[in-house]
Amino acid sequence: NAGVTQTPKFQVLKTGQSMTLQCAQDMNHNSMYWYRQDPGMGLRLIYYSASEGTTDKGEVPNGYNVSRLNKREFSLRLESAAPSQTSVYFCASRPGQGGYTFGSGTRLTVV
Amino acid sequence: DQQVKQNSPSLSVQEGRISILNCDYTNSMFDYFLWYKKYPAEGPTFLISISSIKDKNEDGRFTVFLNKSAKHLSLHIVPSQPGDSAVYFCAASEFGNTNAGKSTFGDGTTLTVKP
C-alpha cells in the first residue's frame, strides 16, 4: 500500500546510546517531517525537509539530527539518547498544500 | 506560548447527535487549517482542511468552519457514529512564506460517541 513506512515500530535504548529512525514514502511528495508526541500533548515538530537536499529545524530540534537521503527517505538520528527523548515519533510527508500522510509511529523508550 | 489550542480535552456525545470540536489559534499568519483523527497505536489520519480564504468546507458528515476575526475554527460531525471515537487534532500551517507548510498542532480532543 502507498504511504509512509517507519522502522522500527518499537525500541528501547539505554541512556547515551545512539540510533537512527528510518522513514520512507512512496507518494513522490517533496516535503517530509519528523514529529514527536508525548502523553497528553500534541505533535511537536523536530525537523523538516521542504525538498530533497534541504533540512530545517522545527520547534524541538535539540538532541536530534536528520538526513534527507533522497526524495523518498528522511531519517532521524539520536546521537546520545536521554530519558527526555522517550516519546512516540511520527514521520509524515505532504504533497504541497494538503494534509500530511503519517507513518504508524516509532515508540521509543530511553532508560 | 501555544499557538494552537484545543481547550476541551474530552467530549462525549450520543450516537446520531452532532459533535462539535473547537480550536483557537493566535498566529494571524496561519493560512491553512486542518483536522486529523487518531486512533490508539496508529498515526494521525488527515480528515478535512480549510483555506483562510474560505469560512466553511464540507466533506460528507464532516464540516469545518473558520472564523478568522475570532481566530477560531470548529469541526462538526453529523451524525456522530461510534467509529468516530478517537482523538482529534487541530493543526495550522503557514503557506504564505517559505515555511514548507509545516504544521503546528493542538493538544487534541478525545471524542467518545456512545451507542
Q: Across all residues in chain A, what is the average pLDDT? A: 94
Which tens digit of pLDDT belongs to each residue from A24-60?
A: 999 999 999 999 999 888 899 999 999 898 999 999 9
Interface of A with B in 77-106 (CB under 8 A): 90, 92, 94, 96-105
In this model, does residue B101 exceed pLDDT 80? no
| pLDDT given at position A69 | 86
φ and ψ at residue B82, rounded to 5 degrees: -55, -35
Which tens digit of pLDDT belongs to each residue from B32-61?
A: 999 999 999 999 999 999 999 999 999 999
**What average pLDDT score do residues A82-103 get?**
93
In this model, does residue B98 exceed pLDDT 80? no
Residues of A in contact with B53 (CB under 8 A): none
The minimal CB distance from A42 to the residues B32, B46, B108 is found for: B108
B19 by Cβ neighbours in 10 Å (0-12 / 13-18 / 19+) ranks as buried
| pLDDT given at position A97 | 78
Judge whether B95 is closer than 8 Å to chain A, CB to CB: yes
Contacts of A100 (CB under 8 A, 6+ apart): A33, A92, A93, A94, B34, B36, B44, B46, B103
Closest Cα to residue B102, out of B112, B110, B94? B94
Gap between the terminal Cα atoms of chain A: 34
Q: Confirm if A23 and A73 have CB atoms less than 8 A apart.
A: yes
Does residue A106 sit in helix, strand or coil? strand
Report residue B76 as a C-alpha cell: 462538526
Q: Which residue has the higher pLDDT, B96 or A90?
A: A90
